[in-house]
Amino acid sequence: MIRAYTIASGKGGTGKTTVTANLGTALAQHGRKTCIVDTDIGMANLGLVLGLSDTPITLHEVLAGEAAIKDAMYEGPYGLMVVPCGLSLQGFQNVNLERFEDVMSDLTERCDYLIFDAPAGIGTDGVIPLTVADEVLLVVNPEISSIVDALKIKTLTETIGGTIGGVILNRAIFEGPGAYQEKIERILDMPIIDTVPEDQNVRRAAAAKTPVVIESPGSESSKAFRRIAAKLAGIPVQEEPHKVQEGFVERFARALFRRKP
Ligand SMILES: Nc1ncnc2c1ncn2[C@@H]1O[C@H](COP(=O)(O)OP(=O)(O)OP(=O)(O)O)[C@@H](O)[C@H]1O
Ligand SMILES: [Mg+2]
């Protein structure tokens, strides 16, 4: 049975596209037939993040009634299916959002996991992905503006009959044990599924147009993305092998030569 998730946040720049690309890749690594879709039809960049440069047919053309969804699907890492969205203003203007339901039913026949990368804000284009998914996953950063905007998305989703599946805390900086995690769970009245730390490997991977789960698989952010994907797919989370305590010399060398952990 297919599971469809929408990655949303309300606030811009929280990491929705990063989460979508990495969860999609991690699910594909687990052998799950997965498709990720850029539903940020005004400010698309999921294809760019994955290094897909030659994509003449995108969700824009499909929603304009000019192409079929199968022609807008491109191959990403590990057989991940990627539906990018166009970058032009003209393409955006030609979109008819009423076609989204047909697109959705076509997609459900082609994969087991479907992940929609939602736009920021609460425009019409942002509302549709909130209704069509089985679960909306809220990406929040440890900032009050992000939490307040996530609360708006939660209320909006529930008002229009959608379901919130949980919260992914992204770009977390570990200051104290569970301090703001608890606060976020209290404000949003939702459990945090997992926490992805602020990690320079994510930015490095973005510059290389590769998901961090491939570029730096040993990084803490990659581990978090793999844990979340495993939870979504119902795969038992592999315990990390006991970590050997890093000594001062290793730590110093890593800092000096900027080695990846
Ligand atoms: N855990 C992280 N650690 C460090 N940098 C991160 C992390 N997550 C995301 N970023 C960086 O934050 C920036 C914004 O991420 P991203 O584009 O995924 O956000 P978004 O929510 O999709 O933005 P928009 O609302 O504009 O669509 C990117 O430069 C990305 O590399
Ligand atoms: Mg984005």
Structure tokens at 110: 């082609």
DSSP secondary structure letter of residue 218: T
What does the pLDDT read at residue 178? 64
In whole angstroms, give the CA distance from residue 191 to residue 157.
Answer: 16
Ligand 1 centroid vs 209 CA: distance in angstroms?
13
**Nearest partner of 26 among 121, 135, 115, judged by Cα:** 115
Contact partners, residue 82, CB within 8 Å, separation at least 6: 24, 35, 36, 46, 47, 50, 52, 73, 74, 75, 76
Is the distance from CB of 15 to CB of 171 less than 8 angstroms? yes
Is the distance from CB of 22 to CB of 49 less than 8 angstroms? no
What does the pLDDT read at residue 244? 42
What does the pLDDT read at residue 242? 42
Domains plus CATH for the chain?
3-257 (3.40.50.300)
Q: Which ligand is nearest to the CA of 173?
A: 1
**Nearest partner of 158 among 187, 130, 121, judged by Cα:** 130
In whole angstroms, give the CA distance from residue 39 to residue 92.
Answer: 11
Ligand 1 pocket list (CB less than 6 A): 9, 12-18, 40, 120, 170-171, 196, 198-199, 202-203, 206, 221
> What global pTM score does this model have?
0.90
Element (H, E) at 97: none
What does the pLDDT read at residue 109? 87
What is the chain's length? Answer: 261
Tell me the three state secondary structure of residue 61: helix
> What is the mean pLDDT of each successive set of 10 residues along the chain, which is 261 residues long?
94 97 97 96 92 94 96 96 93 91 88 96 89 95 94 96 96 75 92 96 96 97 97 80 48 54 54
Q: Which ligand is nearest to the CA of 120?
A: 1
In whole angstroms, give the CA distance from residue 26 to residue 77.
Answer: 9
Q: What is the secondary structure of 115-182 as a DSSP string?
A: EEEPPSS-SHHHHHHHHHSSEEEEEE-SSHHHHHHHHHHHHHHHHTT--EEEEEEEEE---STTHHHH
Contact partners, residue 233, CB within 8 Å, separation at least 6: 27, 30, 32, 113
Ligand 2 centroid vs 83 CA: distance in angstroms?
14
What does the pLDDT read at residue 241? 47
What does the pLDDT read at residue 248? 52
In whole angstroms, give the CA distance from residue 61 to residue 87.
Answer: 11
What does the pLDDT read at residue 99? 92
Which amino acid type is present at position 227?
R
What does the pLDDT read at residue 238? 67
What does the pLDDT read at residue 243? 45
Which parts of 189-247 fold into alpha helices (H)?
A: 200-207, 212-215, 220-233
Is the distance from CB of 229 to CB of 27 less than 8 angstroms? yes
Q: Which ligand is nearest to the CA of 203?
A: 1
What does the pLDDT read at residue 101? 87
Ligand 1 centroid vs 240 CA: distance in angstroms?
26
